[in-house]
Structure 1
Amino acid sequence: MNIKVPPARWTSNLASAGTGLLYLSPSIILFGVFLVYPLIRTFYLSVFRSDTQGNPISYTGLDNYTRLFEDPGFWQSVQSTIGFVLYTVPLTVILALGLALLANEKLRGIGIFRTFFSSTMGMSVAASSIIWMFMYNPAIGVFNRIIELFGWSGIQWLLDPKYALFSVSLATVWMNLGFTFLVLLGGLQNIDRTLYESARIAGPGYWYQLRKITLPMLSPTLFFVIIVTLINAFQTFGQIDILTKGGPTDVTNVIVYSIYKDAFINYNVGSASAQAVLLFLCVLVLTWLQFKIGERRVHYQ
């Protein structure tokens, strides 16, 4: 049975859709100019050989991708990226969760600690990196001063391949801690307090409440911060550029920094675009897997 829509209603719906698009047009234009167009342009340049200014010269198909898969330097970047993500994401989430649980307690002066824990949000990547550079300094850095108190010799934190990636990761954890802490603290404060009051009547201890009430009710927030922290870890650039510039021996040359070097130092825009496409697909797949697998464990109120 066919139902005919009256012309007046059809015109009204069209006018409403036009009005909605008009209100959305600033956001659509911004997304189109700064997100959609660069993404399409990156895919386009990844199959071309380009000149030093990034202008496509000749179509090469998948040649840029083939050369990447045959390049040991690319696989070193992949290894460094995976190591960096494994260092930063779990440590950031666990530390932020612990601090959020402490800051959620009703104690005198707890507001001071909340401000202190979230203070890293107020510092730029450049300023934070300079601070950590001085802390890692082998001559005057605080870390070497501490380990020398125990009779150990100083460490070249940013120059030794054994410690460089972990050192940059530790600085990144500190930089991301403030945002993750605030989000988790907000999630903790939104949990219904009657659940804890009922638990106190039943008599279980703190750790039982943490496992059976706090973590399940906080799972949507944890799910969000894990995804955001993972994406940010794959996109890290500033602190690596300031602290190590991808060295020593490319051990901190993560994919984002490799893209920067290929595009703006080696002027190989085709290779840089191919790496950017692969990074985009990798983050997309990992995010999809997190939603597909991890969301099953999320408890929505």
Structure 2
Amino acid sequence: MEYRSFDRRKRRRKRWVQAGTGLLVLIMGTLLVRTLLNGAGSSNGAGSSNGNVGTENSTTNHTVPVITKGGSGTTAAITSNSTATAATNSTTKTTTAGTTGGTSGHSVLPSHALLSVAAQNQHPQLPNGCEVTSLSMLLTAVGHPVSKMSLAKEAPRAPVSVAWKNNASGLPQGWRYDIASWGNPNKGFVGHMTRQPGYGIYHGPLTKLLNRVLPGQAVDLTGSSLQHIFAQVAHGVPVVMWVNTTFKPLPQSDWVTWNNPGGPIKATFFEHAVLLVGYGPKQLYINNPFNGQKAQPVNRKQFVAAWKQMGSQALTVKAP
């Protein structure tokens, strides 16, 4: 009995040792796995940045991206801190912490963009030729330069000549408010580009002129969203936009109406076309043909209101 009891105790101790050893191995294995997991989770580039799990360093400066147009190609340089940038010969896209919203595709617009496009002055040759001068700048920007004078010669003309109130002859003093009937700028240029009386031309006939120069390349953006227009600029293509010379909404006293066979024409002699070359959260940047200034900053909110007052007219060419 004593021998059997001792033997049983010996076998029992052996089983305890084996069980304890297995438990110890299990505990050590668990600790090892946990250590490995903690080490992987805290490393840079594995779900964390700067020691903050699940966060990403999205700090950006607001240096305006600059795309320099030259000849038929494009040299692009975008300055931004901690941004993802993809560049080709003709297209530059940037994703930053602050964006203006989605485009027609899946890309995201950069919060700032600015194109370097050579400026032109409509004066002195074309006192009423802001539209064709802006179009000339656009064509130069996309590597197909055509002079403002050539475009002025080829622009469609509205067929109706001016008639004055009270059957006045010549050019009456204060003639802008004495017009009885005249042309329709949706049909072609109204009046004279080189002298008075002259008014302007709207997006429809100017789109036709652009398609004659670059067949099938004109894009009429009239009525489009700002995001759509900004997407063009972000892709390296400026946009002709119709506003007025004050770049803010006009009072009703600055508008006139004249008769036309197609119906009354409401117009303002502050009408102006410019080339949009950049945008930011609070400012837009234009090449202004009236004074020949390049990348002139204007108040974004007021400019957009003036653009809408002119019918949200815009024109460009297909982005590459």
TM-score normalised to structure 1 length: 0.20
Structure showing greater radius of gyration is 2
Q: Kindly indicate whether structure 1 or structure 2 has the higher relative contact order, using CA contacts under 8 Å at least 6 residues apart.
A: 1
Higher helix share: 1
TM-score normalised to structure 2 length: 0.20
Higher strand share: 2
